[in-house]
A and B are shown apart, each in its own frame.
Chain A
Amino acid sequence: MENLNQLTQWEVFIQSKSGSPYEHAGSLHAADKSMALQNARDVYTRRGEGRSLWVVPSDCIVASSNEDAEEFFDPSEDKIYRTPNFYKMPKGSTNI
């Protein structure tokens, strides 16, 4: 009998070199954490693309939606005083 269970889906994040951020690479199927890590290594890092991996069950990821993006990110849009260029420095000041 064909078993249609596909195992749990995991998302894979790769850190390409020490100190770099972890970037999403794609997903895969695995029965547990260590199988997920091994599969991630074999599928996504065959050419030394990574020096460290994260695997996360896909259903643990919470995402914002594109439809609500405008309202959702609205609070940050009219606060240009959060950026350095908003300020006028005293004439002749240096190193600031």
Chain B
Amino acid sequence: MSTQEESLKKFQQRIDADEKIEPRDWMPENYRKTLIRQISQHAHSEVIGMQPEGNWVLRAPSLRAKKILLAKIQDEGGHGLYLYSAAETFGVSRAEMIQQLQEGKAKYSSIFNYPTLTWADMGAIGWLVDGAAIVNQTMLAKCSYGPYARAMLRICKEEGFHQRQGYEIMGKMMNGTPAQREMAQDAMNRFWWPSLMMFGPPDTESAHSAESMNWKIKVESNDKLRQRFIDRTVEQAHHIGLTVPDKDLKFNKETMHWEFGPINWDEFWTVVKGNGPCNHQRMNHHIHYHNEGAWVREAASAYERKISAN
């Protein structure tokens, strides 16, 4: 056996024994590459995800609602920072990652390319989008890469509030006037399917899954996570009087799962490839404010140079 094969075998044994891999440990090049891609895209999603919600800060219906929304958005910025830090343990710089985002070489979650048209969207995002993120991130907290798993644990602790504040908004609106109920249902109709797409393509078509599962970068499949989310969420929808916009939805008493209709994967790929309703807007916004803040980064660097020269 060559040393490379030997190392690979040892690595797989560590993974199979549920050991965590730490930054200085030997790892296959593809493990490193996959994780850099995944963690940086996860970080970008947290950061871009602040935009659709930021759209409603100045129009929040009460001071309470505004404070909550601000705190949630601040958390998402924090999640981005935890994740950039986790990716940096591989030796990639944050500047590099941001450059890849801005050049369109690194993706972020497609869900954030949908517009937020009404206040009810703040409810739908917290409840559905953060709800789906919780299912995914709880799985990722068991990931084999130590820094990523630890960041996920920290993030999961914070997400509980995000989902609950969203469901509270939806519940309140469903208890309100007919116009408010209609608004909540409309948000549900627009965000339901994109939320299901957040788990990625079906297992039969998922490009990276097999190797990722072997290395415990993922420990559960897209379809399994999607089903878990649906089973949890459908009951919550019914509980507050919302209709799930899926005529094929029915409960299977044998499997104890909700069966659902076909997902429009053409729409998913259209948005992934950059042609969703808000892709350009999101990226332009990111580039604009990144450039506008350049002087702050430059000033901090100049200050650092000055004190280290003394």
| Contacting residue for A29 out of B94, B150, B298, CB 8 A | B94
Min CB distance A64 to B, Å, is 9
Residues of A within 8 A of B158 (CB): 46-47
Q: Is B88 an interface residue (CB 8 A)?
A: yes
Expressed in whole angstroms, the Cα–Cα distance for A43 and B158 within the complex equals 12
Min CB distance B173 to A, Å, is 27
Min CB distance A22 to B, Å, is 15
Identity of the chain A residue whose Cβ is nearest the Cβ of B94 in the assembled complex: A6
- Is there an interface contact between B85 and A3, defined as CB atoms closer than 8 Å? no
- Is there an interface contact between B301 and A31, defined as CB atoms closer than 8 Å? yes
Residues of B within 8 A of A29 (CB): 94
Residues of A within 8 A of B22 (CB): 66
- The DSSP consensus for interface residues of chain B is helix
- Is there an interface contact between B85 and A28, defined as CB atoms closer than 8 Å? yes
Within 8 A of A (CB), among B136-186: 147, 150-151, 154, 158
| Contacting residue for B301 out of A7, A25, A28, CB 8 A | A7
- Is there an interface contact between A32 and B78, defined as CB atoms closer than 8 Å? no
Residues of A within 8 A of B239 (CB): none
Min CB distance B98 to A, Å, is 10
Q: Is A95 an interface residue (CB 8 A)?
A: no
- Is there an interface contact between A7 and B26, defined as CB atoms closer than 8 Å? no
| Contacting residue for A27 out of B24, B26, B85, CB 8 A | B85
| Contacting residue for B93 out of A6, A25, A63, A65, CB 8 A | A6
Known contacts: A9-B88, A66-B24. The answer to whether A43 contacts B304 by CB under 8 A is no
Min CB distance A34 to B, Å, is 11
Within 8 A of B (CB), among A31-77: 31-32, 35, 42-43, 46-47, 63, 65-67
Q: Is B95 an interface residue (CB 8 A)?
A: yes
Residues of A within 8 A of B85 (CB): 26-28
| Contacting residue for B298 out of A3, A26, A35, CB 8 A | A3
- Is there an interface contact between B297 and A28, defined as CB atoms closer than 8 Å? no
Q: Is A83 an interface residue (CB 8 A)?
A: no
Identity of the chain A residue whose Cβ is nearest the Cβ of B290 in the assembled complex: A2
Identity of the chain B residue whose Cβ is nearest the Cβ of A24 in the assembled complex: B150
- Is there an interface contact between A28 and B95, defined as CB atoms closer than 8 Å? no
Expressed in whole angstroms, the Cα–Cα distance for A67 and B6 within the complex equals 13
- Is there an interface contact between B304 and A32, defined as CB atoms closer than 8 Å? yes
Within 8 A of A (CB), among B4-27: 22, 24-26
Encode contact with A along B271-310: 1 for CB under 8 Å, 0 otherwise: 0000000000000000000000010011011011001000
- Is there an interface contact between B24 and A3, defined as CB atoms closer than 8 Å? no
Min CB distance B4 to A, Å, is 14
Min CB distance B185 to A, Å, is 33
Within 8 A of A (CB), among B99-138: none
Residues of A within 8 A of B150 (CB): 26
Known contacts: A26-B85, A66-B22, A66-B24. The answer to whether A7 contacts B154 by CB under 8 A is no
Q: What 6 A-B pairs come out closest when comparing CB atoms?
A: A31-B304, A5-B301, A66-B25, A27-B85, A4-B95, A31-B300
A-B contact pairs, 20 of them (CB 8 A): A2-B294, A3-B301, A4-B93, A26-B82, A26-B86, A26-B151, A28-B85, A31-B300, A31-B307, A32-B303, A32-B307, A35-B300, A42-B78, A43-B81, A46-B158, A47-B158, A65-B24, A65-B25, A66-B24, A67-B26
Please report A residues at the B interface, Cβ cutoff 8 Å. 2-9, 25-29, 31-32, 35, 42-43, 46-47, 63, 65-67
Please report B residues at the A interface, Cβ cutoff 8 Å. 22, 24-26, 71, 74-75, 78, 81-82, 85-86, 88-89, 93-95, 147, 150-151, 154, 158, 294, 297-298, 300-301, 303-304, 307
